[in-house]
Structure 1
């Protein structure tokens, strides 16, 4: 018999567990344990796999089946993950200048369809990054919260395009805001993002059984997707810069020659 913590062999019997299994105690570190325990901590690979599945359009029951974990453990793990997600968008720093932002909101619910929770989102129309998000009512208060969420450089310099919803019209400064219809095409990127959100997050599907039971998990799931979405955009932009840099370097060398 070996202590799982210290690897010591100085082990003594220490009664039985409530399930009737023989309990052992390490004389070096006082760790109590049983032989062949039924419950074991999930390994790093399992946790990483579950983390990837949480970013896909899968219900928790499906994730439990795919990862071969219990629904109880998965729910506890998900609660901890969502509670630790930062609720602020990490975006590429922008210099003051000509910027373009598109904003819109999509409907969702928590626990029951009568408990509407609107997802307010703002994106950089040039890089497609999500620069702000707020989940709440479809009211002026939520519009103010979203406006305060986005980085200051956008509030100072960007031209903001939204639909004609009165909350947005009354909150965003008139010199920064233009309300347009869908037929104009100036909100096409945010409309496409709305479709992506519903396709990638099962909680946002219009007719779904995978709805959130807790508002905290609803918010955490959306923010987890936002961070992964922005990470993919940053990686894509970095790859484009790496591909363009050799070309620019060659042009500069030819010009110098």
Structure 2
């Protein structure tokens, strides 16, 4: 018999589990274990599959059925993963010059429908990268958060196309800000990405039972998809 953690053979009996199984303890690393446990460790292949499924509009209950993991473990794994996601946009380096971004905002809710959360987004028209992200309220502070989230090269050089929401005009520099209607087609890319987010994240459905109860996991799910989206553009 060997310790499953350190392969030591210095093993002693250590009582019984609540189901009556003999428990053992490693005297070298203090690991406690039983022979042939009912709940086996989750494999790395299964975790990679779960990571991919989180990028699709699939409920956690469906992931449980597809992978065979326990609901409680999956909820813990997903919460831990989403809390660790970076809350800062990552794009390829850009040279100073003629840059164009499109900006828009979309809403969903956390906890209940009275708690609206707005997602402010900016997309690079040329590379289709998401260049700015901010989650908050639909007010001047939200527009300021989006502006501050943009890499410096965009704030210095980019022409910004937005809708007529007044907060943009207050925060964005007037010389390079263009407020336009949907009929112009100047915000088509960002509006299309809004739809992409709703198709990939079940938490963003405005009429759904699968909404987020915690703001941290809600934000993590959005950032997780955005990081993967930008990374996929660099690969292609």
Correspondence list, 1:124-163, <5 A: 124-163=124-163
Provide structure 1 residue ranges, at least 5 long, that are not aligned to the other structure: 237-257
- Per-residue deviation, 1:54: 0.3
Give the distance between the partners of 2:28 and 2:94, measured in 1 at CA: 57
> What's the counterpart of residue 215 of structure 2?
215
- Gap regions ≥5 residues in structure 2: none
Offset, 1:31: 2.9
Following TM superposition, the consecutive aligned residue runs of length 4 or more in structure 1 with deviations greater than 6 angstroms are none
1:175 aligns with 2:175: yes
Which position in structure 1 is the counterpart of 2:16? 16
Contact 2:89 2:130 in 1 (8 A): yes
C-alpha deviation, 1:136, in angstroms:
0.9
- Map 1:53-72; keep pairs closer than 5 Å: 53-72=53-72
| Aligned counterpart, 1:42 | 42
Q: TM-score, normalised by structure 2?
A: 0.96
- Cα distance, 1:18 vs. partner? 3.3
**Secondary structure class of the residue paired with 1:117:** strand
Distance 1:37 1:10 in 2: 20
1:5 offset after TM fit, Å? 2.5
- Tell me how many residue pairs correspond in the alignment: 236
Compute the RMSD of aligned alpha carbons. 1.3
- Distance in 1, matches of 2:204 and 2:120, equals 13
1: distance between equivalents of 2:142 and 2:37? 50
What's the CA shift for 1:96?
0.7
Residues 29, 217 of structure 1: alpha-carbon distance in 2 compared, 3 angstrom cutoff:
closer
Deviation at 1:174, TM superposition (A): 0.4
Higher helix share: 1
- The C-alpha deviation readout for 1:188-213, integer Å capped at 9, x for no partner, is 11111111111111111222222111
**What TM-score, normalized to structure 1?**
0.88
